[in-house]
Amino acid sequence: MPKVLIIYYTLSNNTKKMAELISKGVRDTGCEAVLKNVADTSIDELRDYEGIVIGSPTYYGAMAYQVKKLIDESVKFHGQLGGKVGGAFSSSANIGGGNETTILSILNALLIHGMVVLGIPRGDHYGPVSIHSPDERSSALCLEYGKQIGMLVKKLYPCDGNIK
Amino acid sequence: MPKVLIIYYTLSNNTKKMAELISKGVRDTGCEAVLKNVADTSIDELRDYEGIVIGSPTYYGAMAYQVKKLIDESVKFHGQLGGKVGGAFSSSANIGGGNETTILSILNALLIHGMVVLGIPRGDHYGPVSIHSPDERSSALCLEYGKQIGMLVKKLYPCDGNIK
Amino acid sequence: MPKVLIIYYTLSNNTKKMAELISKGVRDTGCEAVLKNVADTSIDELRDYEGIVIGSPTYYGAMAYQVKKLIDESVKFHGQLGGKVGGAFSSSANIGGGNETTILSILNALLIHGMVVLGIPRGDHYGPVSIHSPDERSSALCLEYGKQIGMLVKKLYPCDGNIK
Amino acid sequence: MPKVLIIYYTLSNNTKKMAELISKGVRDTGCEAVLKNVADTSIDELRDYEGIVIGSPTYYGAMAYQVKKLIDESVKFHGQLGGKVGGAFSSSANIGGGNETTILSILNALLIHGMVVLGIPRGDHYGPVSIHSPDERSSALCLEYGKQIGMLVKKLYPCDGNIK
């Protein structure tokens, strides 16, 4: 069964709630979903997953430094994460509060690792956004995003976690 | 009196309403504000203004092609718009619908012209966003953005429209 | 055999040369590659391809308006291009001349269509960049990008162009 | 005399060399320039400067986490840095290596603080980029960027460092 790691940093639990909803969406596709606070995430385990989805609150228009630290240190495995499925999400205090640029700062990093990223034609296109705690709109988008991530992981790693 | 040109493209009138609110904010600072549909805007007049603010609906995460056409053609005056104040705003159907990247696609273009751009510490940071027609929140942000633009124009062109 | 459409806009032929190199890389993977000037591209044919790669010169930090026009008009098929593989490339006059933001303006649009996008761990990460005419470095990156695109298309559309 | 703080993070000294060149450009305009490694920079001093320019190597398409940590912690003074002049620069290993997105990740943060940012019509538009150690091209752009920053600081803080 392919596995997706959902990493989050959270202070207010809003980003964590989003991570839980995305995990549920991933599981609905039959993939395994593992949820981790960035503080509990080791770069050494990143290679063990077929998908990596990262969420951060919106701090000055980019991922929190605690998330960026993990990404900077992941250079140890540069080139070894290629082909995995990547995704991103953010919580924010404001509609135009930097949440899209936060998501894109994460997606850019995953693209640089050689990962594969998908967009969403309906709703929040680059990845789900929540203004404060996820409301009905945002919760539905998180679930759907998890499903899309899970389905793409299954297409790329169809049987046993080994890319074809 | 320094002059600010507010250019917009609109289909649903949402972006036009935002442009009107921003114009009002600009005028509140004592600057002249001229409002133009992009279809009525000639690149030959861009040099006549101390500030240029451009709004677009959110089409695939970047300014509408009608706006981009004006910007592409403004290469005729490349280097001659430097030092002017620039700004951007967008209307959108969705919170994470590409509105920040639309605003940033405009700001990037104005930066490439050598213009000066400001951000907003409260509210929509890169420029005002409206989800559908501007509501109370978005209307207040448009007014405030116009004021900030007007005040920066007056600082940079204090007396008579000639940069110091 | 899955098919990839490579669309370009060009004035100096630099972007066209890049498109040809990317096409060659795509063909090396066994996919069909079709090369089209944006002026000869109809939105009605976009659904016929399993991959769509778009190149533009760097005009004010975003795709040329001729390319944006095609993308804006592709809203006719919004939601019907989901799952296809997308890619982007740009030619530029300068290292920090807006070429990355040009590529990302295209990738953002393709993500909004629901497409799947990949990054490159070595070289130009978001898509190949050429400063003026493609030199040896840029030519190699274009070829490699085409190969990566072709291989991802084949993974997602393994047999007959029908997604699994 | 208005003062500009140039903050950098460096491992290879390439970003530090860029910072020194930008400082020289700032000083050529009659402003004071203070150069600091991010490790030696306290958020408590950010309010003491009329301009803040930040440089980072290109790590996964955004500023290094050590720089982001400073920015995240600067939330203590959110709203108090408005109106200052901001700028950014990056060193990179590759032309399309994420250097523009690194610069823009910094500029976005400074805009969110309410700062004023300028672009450059010739050369690297969002801020200077160096591929490895700054060569003649990049050195000239760093000097010129420092001058443009210094001149904008002097326009906005003309006499005594107090904004008009």
pLDDT digit string, tens, across residues D30-70: 999 999 999 999 999 999 999 999 999 999 999 999 999 99
Q: CA of C106 to nearest chain A CA: how many angstroms apart?
A: 13
Query: pLDDT tens, C95-150?
Result: 889 999 999 999 999 999 999 999 999 999 999 999 999 999 999 999 999 999 99
> What radius of gyration do chain A's Cα atoms show?
14
Confidence of residue C164 (pLDDT cuts 50, 70, 90): very low
Which chain B residues contact residue A123 at CB under 8 A?
94, 96-97
In 3-state terms, what secondary structure has residue B50?
coil
Predicted pLDDT at D161: 47
Among chain D residues, CA nearest to A78: D60
Q: What is the DSSP letter of C39?
A: G
Cβ B96–A61 below 8 Å, yes or no? no
Closest alpha carbon within chain A to D62: A105
Cα distance between residue C43 and residue C52, in whole Å: 12
pLDDT at D121 over 50: yes
Q: Are C98 and D125 in contact (CB < 8 Å)?
A: yes
Give the mean model confidence (pLDDT) for residues D98-109.
Answer: 98
What CA–CA distances, in Å, run from D149 to A4, B96, B147, D103?
A: 45, 33, 24, 15
SS3 content of chain C, % helix, strand, coil (to 5): 45, 20, 35
Q: Which residues of B touch A (CB under 8 A)?
A: 61, 94-101, 103-104, 123-129, 131, 137, 141
Q: Tell me the nearest-neighbour CA distance from C74 into chain A, angstroms.
A: 13
How distant is the Cα of A122 from the closest Cα of chain C, in angstroms?
A: 8
Interface test with D, best of C100, C144, C145 (most D CBs within 10 A): C100
CA B158 to each of CA B50, B145, D62, D83, D115: distance values in angstroms, whole numbers, following the listed order: 11, 19, 37, 16, 19
Q: pTM surpassing 0.95?
A: yes
pLDDT at B136 over 60: yes
pLDDT tens per residue across span A109-137 = 999 999 999 999 999 999 999 999 999 99
Cβ-contact A143, A22 below 8 angstroms? yes
Separation between Cα atoms, residue D65 and residue A62, nearest integer Å: 11
pLDDT grade for A158, boundaries at 50, 70 and 90:
confident
Question: In a 3-state reduction of DSSP, which class is residue B161?
Answer: coil
To the nearest whole number, what is the mean pLDDT of chain B?
95
Which residue ranges form the domains of chain C, and what is each CATH number?
3-156 (3.40.50.360)
Residue A126: its pLDDT value, please? 98
Q: Is D88 helix (H, G, I), strand (E, B) or coil?
A: strand
ipTM over 0.90: yes
Asked if A110 and A86 count as a contact pair (C-beta separation under 8 A), the reply is: yes
Looking at residue B160, its pLDDT comes to 53
- DSSP secondary structure, D26-68, as one string: HHHTT-EEEEEEGGG--GGGGGG-SEEEEEEE-BTTB--HHHH
Catalogue the E-assigned strands of C25-138: 32-37, 51-57, 85-92, 116-118, 129-131
Least confident of A97-101, B95-99, C39-43: B95-99
Across the interface, whether the CB atoms of A96 and B131 are under 8 A apart is answered no
DSSP state of B77: G
> What subunits make at least 3 CB pairs under 8 angstroms with C?
A, B, D
The pLDDT of B56-63, averaged and rounded, is: 98
pLDDT(A29) > 90? yes
pLDDT at A161 over 50: no
Is C160 a residue whose pLDDT tops 70?
no
Segment D110-134 shows an average pLDDT of 97
> Residue B61 is nearest to which of C69, C74, C112, comparing CB atoms?
C112
Distance (Å) from the alpha carbon of C150 to chain B's nearest alpha carbon: 24
Lookup: tokens for B22: 């921003």
Tell me which chain C residue has its CA closest to the CA of residue D138: C95
Which of B70, B72, B78 should be substituted to probe chain C, the one whose Cβ sees the most C Cβ atoms within 10 Å?
B72
Chain B positions contacting chain D at CB under 8 Å are: 78-79, 81-82, 104, 108, 110-122, 125-126, 152, 155-156, 158, 163-164
Q: Which of D119, B110, D19 is nearest to C60 (CA)?
A: B110
**Do the chains contact at A124 and B95, CB–CB below 8 Å?**
yes
As given in the structure block, the two tokens for residue B105 are: 């696609």
Q: What is the mean pLDDT of residues C72-91?
A: 98
> How far off is chain A from D60, nearest CA to CA, in Å?
5
| Nearest-angstrom CA–CA distance, C132 and C91 | 6
CB atoms near residue B164 (< 10 Å) = 10
